[in-house]
Chains A and B, each alone.
Chain A
């Protein structure tokens, strides 16, 4: 069964460093998403992406964040200058339709900023 994959599974970085989280969505899906979950808190929407541009973003997704689909398979989330409060589990998801369709989630990347 097709699945969303994410790399790395864990990343530790120093405050102020740039990190890139990678995702490979399900191959025929067209809509891509990033979410984050701070330990013990709700899953929070960050951004949705379609046709090589951002469809929607939340208040969390400020200028420190960017997303890109550099090739036909990868979807990346870049955090330019990490802060302690960026420590969280980051989930990528994909779906094959804009509405009314299940979003399939990857296993997540646990980011720890020291």
Chain B
């Protein structure tokens, strides 16, 4: 059974800092890994999708890496802004069908 863990559970940084969020998963036979952002009381917004054959994806100030063999992914956020404050979720698609397993999330606060 796939288990996804995210560290740290919460993070508070001053505006402008670069930061790294971590995600680990137990079963390396994944189809893809996706990073989402969740704002309080809201739905999930997809940030980046890394396919199993890829090692990283970039979008603006965000860079996500994937190391399937070690079961890890990182989300790097450059020059953080208060608007980046949200919960960041990592999710892996694995198994024989379209089953997505979410991580516990990292709650990020960027202080102005």
Q: Which residues of A contact B (CB under 8 A)?
A: 31, 33, 35, 42-45, 48, 50, 55-56, 58, 91, 93, 98-108, 110
Contact = CB atoms under 8 A, between A and B. Distances in A.
B28 interface: no
Looking at chain B's contact residues, the main secondary structure is strand
B101 interface: yes
Interface of B: 31-32, 34, 36, 41-46, 49, 51-52, 89, 91, 93, 95-105
A43 to B, nearest CB: 4
Looking at chain A's contact residues, the main secondary structure is strand
Contacts, number: 62
B44 A91 contact: yes
A43 B89 contact: yes
B49 A33 contact: no
Nearest to A107: B43
16 contacts: A33-B98, A35-B102, A42-B103, A43-B102, A45-B99, A55-B98, A56-B96, A100-B32, A100-B52, A102-B46, A103-B34, A103-B100, A104-B46, A105-B36, A105-B44, A107-B42
Nearest to B45: A105
A105 B97 contact: no
A24 B101 CA distance: 23
